[in-house]
């Protein structure tokens, strides 16, 4: 067995792949071969490390040095200086926002140091394409323990006592779901993993499948044993080709090792998993629509009850959970339910993975104990708001969620606290908004998404969201009318109470949430025909401050429609009727004389 003096972990999650990590890795391998170190240095492609805005990134062990924003041209210096001579390359180190200090080791970076990784325990640490690396980190030990030492009832009891709640949105107790499926009559049952992650800005499940696919496979096999199923399905969207490829490879490896198939661990338990690739319909994240799609039907929801635990895939009892939920199962089996239940809050146990994006310095994946405050996530882990701007709001729960304001920064991020504020946990998307964000337009953006993704089966969602979107669009274009706010509220309550599925019922949430906390912005849009943040193009005017304008003429040269006029060295003016509000004049003015109001 080869012994390496240095290990180089190169992030090869989808984010880093898109930023050219493969070229960086190839250049590194070439340089290692050039200096004769190819046999002494092991280069490992890992899943997502989490710092998605810094890619491509790598961590060099045993030192633990973290390098970021790499290019293929950096490979020669990394090999010759760091690996050969032991000299850390300062220019490639991470530097926190609003700080002049460089941080050398990954374990010292606040983004990593404040996390508690359970679901993400292996992502960014192992090569997801090598099953032996997963096994070396206790992989398939939980399945072996369950199949050889525990009854089905004992397994379900462990999950119930852990108080794990589903990480896909509603937070239903996972153990109860397992119990219901186990209790359902019938010899043919199914286990399904919902990997149809469609929320804008959410990529938690994708990253786990890319970086640690065996964690999901092993957990699904445990679930199959517990509820009495022989077949599992992973339903994953076609837009995740890297996740699909790595999952398919992992399934083949698991079968070759005997972790899937017949007589697993020498027992009578048989279980296998197939992949079902969806076409990317947002509604297929809803469990009954997902089941219909697995069966080859149009992905539309159906009324519940009966719930999938009673009638699911092909009309048989079905256990259905999302990727992150399954990723917690094996540690619970190995460490015990009390260990997991000791993390988090009274009603929300364990950790939660958040995908933080938007107006924030550190974009990426974070996993923290339930109950961690929004302030800790945004400012301590996320590094705060860029350019010294103020925090305005955070959208939680994706397009079905709601917003939290600066007044809520000390809110514990758990199921109950978010629900009380009119928001929701959802799958874990967290979009941060700064002072320049228009909350009316944010509501319009999310409603535009849900309206476009509506399956159209039920009238309240199909027609109601269309009418709401029309009103919001009018408001952001300066054509809002008195009574529009009341119309939005009436439509929202109707859609919530009468839509067929959870996606339709939650579609108005962003509108109601922004109305609750930012009603004044709606009123200004409607009554004053003005966007306070200067974001809505239909309500924006560009004017030239005569006190600041030097008459240099640059704005005249860059205006594409000739809307600016004036004599040289004298203040210029903008013709509002000709101005297309493109912003070119403001971007080119060297004296900051052009204002957006």
How many Å apart are CA 116 and CA 111, to the nearest integer?
Answer: 11
How many Å apart are CA 561 and CA 580, to the nearest integer?
Answer: 8
Q: Which two tokens stand for residue 86?
A: 């032991």
How many Å apart are CA 205 and CA 225, to the nearest integer?
Answer: 23
Domains and CATH numbers, the chain: 6-112 (3.40.30.10), 131-340 (3.40.50.11540), 351-434 (3.10.20.600), 439-528 (1.20.1440.230), 541-596 (3.30.70.20)
Q: What is the mean pLDDT of each run of 10 residues along the chain (597 residues)?
A: 88 93 97 95 96 94 96 97 96 88 93 96 96 97 98 98 92 97 96 91 92 98 98 95 97 98 96 94 92 95 94 98 97 98 97 96 96 96 94 92 95 94 89 96 95 92 96 95 96 95 91 96 94 86 92 94 93 91 91 89
Give the pLDDT confidence score for residue 216 in this predicted structure.
98
How many Å apart are CA 244 and CA 238, to the nearest integer?
Answer: 8
Question: Residue for token digits 């009318």?
Answer: 481
**Are the C-beta atoms of 93 and 78 separated by less than 8 Å?**
no
What is the C-alpha end-to-end distance of the chain, expressed in Å?
68
Q: Which two tokens stand for residue 263?
A: 């007589």
Question: Residue for token digits 């009850």?
Answer: 305
How many Å apart are CA 83 and CA 475, to the nearest integer?
Answer: 59
Give the pLDDT confidence score for residue 34 in this predicted structure.
96
Give the pLDDT confidence score for residue 169 in this predicted structure.
76
**Are the C-beta atoms of 412 and 429 separated by less than 8 Å?**
no
Give the pLDDT confidence score for residue 280 in this predicted structure.
83
How many Å apart are CA 124 and CA 317, to the nearest integer?
Answer: 35
CA distances from 241 to 19, 48, 244 (A): 16, 15, 5
268 exposure class (CB count in 10 Å sphere: 0-12, 13-18, 19+): exposed
For residue 537, what is the DSSP state? G
How many Å apart are CA 520 and CA 530, to the nearest integer?
Answer: 12
Which ranges of 63-191 does DSSP label H, i.e. alpha helix?
75-77, 84-85, 110-113, 131-136, 141-149, 152-162, 174-183
**Are the C-beta atoms of 328 and 347 separated by less than 8 Å?**
no
Question: Residue for token digits 């973290």?
Answer: 66
- Cβ within 8 Å of residue 272, ≥6 positions away: 230, 231, 232, 255, 260, 261
- The C-alpha torsion from 282 through 287 and 289 to 293, rounded to 10°, is 90
Question: Residue for token digits 């090598």?
Answer: 130
Select from 215, 223, 168 the least CA-distant residue to 190.
Answer: 223
Strands 272-278 and 231-237: parallel
Q: At what angle do helices 213-227 and 204-211 cross, to 10 degrees?
A: 100
Q: Which two tokens stand for residue 25?
A: 């890795």
303 exposure class (CB count in 10 Å sphere: 0-12, 13-18, 19+): exposed
């Amino acid at each position: 067995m080869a012994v390496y003096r240095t290990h180089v972990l190169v992030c090869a999650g989808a984010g880093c792949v898109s930023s050219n990590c493969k070229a960086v890795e190839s250049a590194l391998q070439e340089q290692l071969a050039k200096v004769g170190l190819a046999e002494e240095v092991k280069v490992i492609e890992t899943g997502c490390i989490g710092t998605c805005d810094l890619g491509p990134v790598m961590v060099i062990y045993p030192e633990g040095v973290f390098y970021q924003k790499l290019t293929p041209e950096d490979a020669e210096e990394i090999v010759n200086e760091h690996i050969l001579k032991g000299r850390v390359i300062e220019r490639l180190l991470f530097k926190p926002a609003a700080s002049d200090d460089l941080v050398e080791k990954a374990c010292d970076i606040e983004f990593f140091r404040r996390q508690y990784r359970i679901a993400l325990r292996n992502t960014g640490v192992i090569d997801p394409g090598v099953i032996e690396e997963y096994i070396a980190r206790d992989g398939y030990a939980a399945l072996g323990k369950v199949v050889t030492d525990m009854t089905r009832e004992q397994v379900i009891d462990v999950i119930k006592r852990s108080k794990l709640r589903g990480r896909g949105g509603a937070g239903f107790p996972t153990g109860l779901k397992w119990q219901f499926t186990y209790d359902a009559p019938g010899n043919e049952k199914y286990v399904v993993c919902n990997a149809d992650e469609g929320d804008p800005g959410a990529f938690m499940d994708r990253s786990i499948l890319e970086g640690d696919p065996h964690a999901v496979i092993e957990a699904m096999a445990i679930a199959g044993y517990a509820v009495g199923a022989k077949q599992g399905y992973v339903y994953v969207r076609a837009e995740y080709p890297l996740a699909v490829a790595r999952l398919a490879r992992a399934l083949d490896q698991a079968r070759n090792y005997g972790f899937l198939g017949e007589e697993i661990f020498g027992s009578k338990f048989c279980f296998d998993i197939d992949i079902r690739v969806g076409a990317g319909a947002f509604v297929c994240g809803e469990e009954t629509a997902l089941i219909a799609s697995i069966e080859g039907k149009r992905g539309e929801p159906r009324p519940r009850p009966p719930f999938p635990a009673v009638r699911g895939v092909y009309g048989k009892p079905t256990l259905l959970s999302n990727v992150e939920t399954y990723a917690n199962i094996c540690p619970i089996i190995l460490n015990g339910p009390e260990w997991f239940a000791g993390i988090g809050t009274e009603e929300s146990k364990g950790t939660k993975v958040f995908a933080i994006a938007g107006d924030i310095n550190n974009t990426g994946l974070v996993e923290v104990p339930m109950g961690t405050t929004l302030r800790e996530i945004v400012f301590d882990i996320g590094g705060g708001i860029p350019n010294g701007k103020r925090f305005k709001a955070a959208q939680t729960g994706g397009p079905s969620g709601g917003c939290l304001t600066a007044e809520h920064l000390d809110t514990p991020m758990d199921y109950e606290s978010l629900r009380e504020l009119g928001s929701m946990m959802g799958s874990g998307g967290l979009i941060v908004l700064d002072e320049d964000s228009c909350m009316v337009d944010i509501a319009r953006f999310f409603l535009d998404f849900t309206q476009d993704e509506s399956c159209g089966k039920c009238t309240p969602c199909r027609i109601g969201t269309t009418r709401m979107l029309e009103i919001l669009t009018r408001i952001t274009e300066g054509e809002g009318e008195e009574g529009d706010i009341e119309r939005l509220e009436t439509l929202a309550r109707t859609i919530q109470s009468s839509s067929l599925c959870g996606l339709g019922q939650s579609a108005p949430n962003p509108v109601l949430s922004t109305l609750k906390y930012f009603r004044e912005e709606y009123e200004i849009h409607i009554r004053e025909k003005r966007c306070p943040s200067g974001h809505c193009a239909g309500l924006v005017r560009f004017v030239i401050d005569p006190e600041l304008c030097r008459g240099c003429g640059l704005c005249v040269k860059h205006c594409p429609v000739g809307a600016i006029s004036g004599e040289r060295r004298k203040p210029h003016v903008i013709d509002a009727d000709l101005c297309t509000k493109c912003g070119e004049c403001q971007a080119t003015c060297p004296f900051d004389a052009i204002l957006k109001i």
